[in-house]
Amino acid sequence: MAQRPTIKTIAKETGLSTATVSKALNASPQVRPRTRDKVLQAAKELGYELNISGVQLRTGKTYQIAMITVIASPDDDEWAGVGYTQLISGISRAIEHTPYRVVQHQVASFDDSFEVIKRIIQNKKADGIIISGTRANDPRISFMQEQDFPFVTYGTSDASAPHAFVDTDNRRIVTICVERLLSKGHRRIAMINAREELNYTQNRIEAYKAALSKAGQTCDPSLLAYGRLTPAFGREQLFEMSMFDEPPTAYICANEATAMGVLSGFQVRGMEHGRDAVVIATDDLNVSQYFSPPITTCYLPISKPSETLGKFMLDLIGGEDPINLQKLFVPDLIERGADTCNLERQ
């Protein structure tokens, strides 16, 4: 079987030197159009494909985009990481017609993610990094900034220097949800949040408080829960909060998994959605339309932010200023019920 063609093969074929071939393939202005065409033609005929390890060795370019995913442990976290597939999928789609590939670096904890990032940068194992689960004050972000390494975050932070990010507009979501529930007469509104150290959790809390105080209401901190966004966590919280003297009449869940858990709690406790309380969620899978009953959800198709993530990464590698690579998406509110309930009950 014929050896895989290299630039040498093309050089021999066209009678040019490998240097010229290389330049031609890289669209260098040093080579004149006529020879360029000749090279491209030959490359096509021979079925030439760039050998990335050659490039990598010479230039340090890896054509890899590292995606750091944090999954705590194999199974306890049944639903966790569900979104990563779609995320990677969207990124892959954005870089489809480039030589870049997404390489997933799976880690078990935040600290591990930092270690992996250090190794990737130190050993130049990727051309760019994408992380999620950003914290308000995220040491990984400052590190990557110091090292001047290209990165995009899925999620915001309060880093002093601007960086490329994509996120859902969490403040906006929460404002919409709270205002809707207030207008339906709810006064005890619980919010089930992700872990407190995540920046988006903080944003949600701020928006929650702001919306309440704008309506002249005060915030009862016992209605705010923080944890890993699993169905189990949602159910736990329902169990707990529904036993309060003045239980919530509405639950805002940070994702559909948690909402499912809350609904599951309803059923166990003999509660009924729309009578005893209501649940609304934010998410990007839109699976809540199949819940029993379906619930009102702030929905943002995950394909949007994820493709943007990929696009931003390419732009960044191409030298674009991070300040131009920041985007907040505003989800649609999909009403799937009146979201009222027997408020006089309490």
Partner DNA sequence: CATATAAAATTAAACGTTTATATTTTGAGT
Partner DNA sequence: ACTCAAAATATAAACGTTTAATTTTATATG
Q: Which is nearer to its own copies, 207 or 263 (CB)?
A: 263
CB of 97 to its own copies, least distance (A): 13
Q: Which is nearer to its own copies, 90 or 171 (CB)?
A: 90
Dist. CA 260–CA 192, nearest whole Å: 12
7 binds, among DNA, its own copies, none (CB under 5 to 8 A by kind): DNA
303 binds, among its own copies, DNA, none (CB under 5 to 8 A by kind): its own copies
Question: Counting runs of H as helices and runs of E as strands, what totals does the chain give?
Answer: 12, 12
Q: Which is nearer to its own copies, 217 or 303 (CB)?
A: 303
Residue with tokens 């948690």: 258
Write the CA distances from 178 to 46, 135, 231, 250, 344, integer angstroms: 62, 24, 22, 10, 19
CB of 221 to its own copies, least distance (A): 27
278 binds, among DNA, its own copies, none (CB under 5 to 8 A by kind): none
Tokens found for residue 45: 């005929």
The piece of 45-53, 107-115, 236-244, 290-298 that touches DNA (CB under 7 A) is 45-53
Do residues 133 and 198 lie in contact, with contact meaning Cβ atoms separated by under 8 Å?
Answer: yes
Relative orientation angle of helices 256-269 and 231-241, to the nearest 10 degrees: 50
Asked if 59 interacts with DNA (CB under 7 A), we say: yes
Q: Which is nearer to DNA, 28 or 147 (CB)?
A: 28
99-138 residues in contact with DNA (CB under 7 A) are none
How many residues in total does the chain contain?
A: 346
Amino acid letter for position 294: P
Asked if 12 interacts with DNA (CB under 7 A), we say: no
Backbone angles phi and psi of 282, in degrees to 5:
-115, 135
Do residues 163 and 322 lie in contact, with contact meaning Cβ atoms separated by under 8 Å?
Answer: yes
Do residues 13 and 46 lie in contact, with contact meaning Cβ atoms separated by under 8 Å?
Answer: yes
Q: Which is nearer to its own copies, 90 or 133 (CB)?
A: 90
Asked if 97 interacts with DNA (CB under 7 A), we say: no
Instruction: By CB under 7 A, name the binding residues for DNA.
Output: 3-4, 6-8, 15-23, 25-26, 29-32, 34-35, 48, 50-51, 53-55, 57-59
